[in-house]
Chain A
């Protein structure tokens, strides 16, 4: 069965950096694009970034463009999200989600990122 497991969350000060990972199993990782979606505490969902199956295309929400970098290692079935210049408003649970042609068909359990001084 499809499994996505995020790791790397934690507490960081404003202006700091953090790197999230998402380990995938149960499907051919190199055949699918993957997204990051976040959810601030008590708030709704926000799409963050997308990477094509082979890493050839990446796209970002305006709110993270220039600060976040999405990447993947298909040899390790792992997705990454490098987050720099973090702001208080970046505090959220970050989910990785498998792409199914303009939607998200499987989600991980999420990793909490807290940006606070």
Chain B
């Protein structure tokens, strides 16, 4: 399975919103509602931010939201804060007990 496609970078000023896209195929994102998103700060382990397309784990601010349309999923961060500056990765079930990650997006808070 090829990696899901994400833009290399995205940016916004504090308080603004940024949306990251994650494009796959009809064999992964398009086939399953098992898209998740992870935040990774430099030198740290990834952290689950969104699962099953739009669900937020306990403790994740409601500024983070997820959606999906066809073969593309999206993560929106509203009300950007300095601590949101990080790398973000999407992930999808790819069938046959396989998982595929996105290429990653570096979010910069201007």
Tell me the complex Cα distance, A61–B100, Å: 10
Most buried by A among B91, B93, B103: B91
B72 at the interface (CB under 8 A from A): no
Task: Give the A-B pair count, Cβ closer than 8 A.
Answer: 62
Among B34, B44, B51, B97, point to the contact of A105 (Cβ < 8 A).
B51
What chain A residues lie within 8 Å of B38 (beta carbons)? 45, 104
Inter-chain contact A100/B98, CB cutoff 8 Å: no
Q: Mark B81-108, 1 if CB is under 8 A from A, else 0.
A: 0000000010101001111111110000
B36 at the interface (CB under 8 A from A): yes
Q: Mark A94-109, 1 if CB is under 8 A from B, else 0.
A: 0100001111111111
Among B48, B51, B101, point to the contact of A46 (Cβ < 8 A).
B101
Q: Which bracket fits the contact residues of A?
A: 20 to 34
Inter-chain contact B51/A100, CB cutoff 8 Å: yes
What chain B residues lie within 8 Å of A67 (beta carbons)? none
Inter-chain contact B51/A108, CB cutoff 8 Å: no
Inter-chain contact A104/B36, CB cutoff 8 Å: yes
Tell me the complex Cα distance, A102–B89, Å: 15
The 10 closest A-B pairs by CB, nearest first: A103-B36, A102-B34, A59-B97, A47-B99, A107-B45, A103-B51, A45-B101, A44-B104, A102-B93, A105-B48
Binding site for B on A (CB under 8 A): 35, 37, 44-47, 50, 57, 59, 61, 95, 100-110
30 A-B pairs within 8 Å (CB atoms) are namely A35-B99, A37-B46, A44-B89, A45-B38, A45-B46, A45-B91, A45-B101, A45-B104, A46-B101, A47-B91, A47-B98, A50-B97, A59-B97, A95-B45, A95-B46, A100-B48, A100-B51, A101-B51, A101-B52, A102-B32, A102-B34, A102-B51, A103-B48, A104-B38, A104-B91, A105-B51, A105-B57, A107-B46, A107-B47, A109-B44
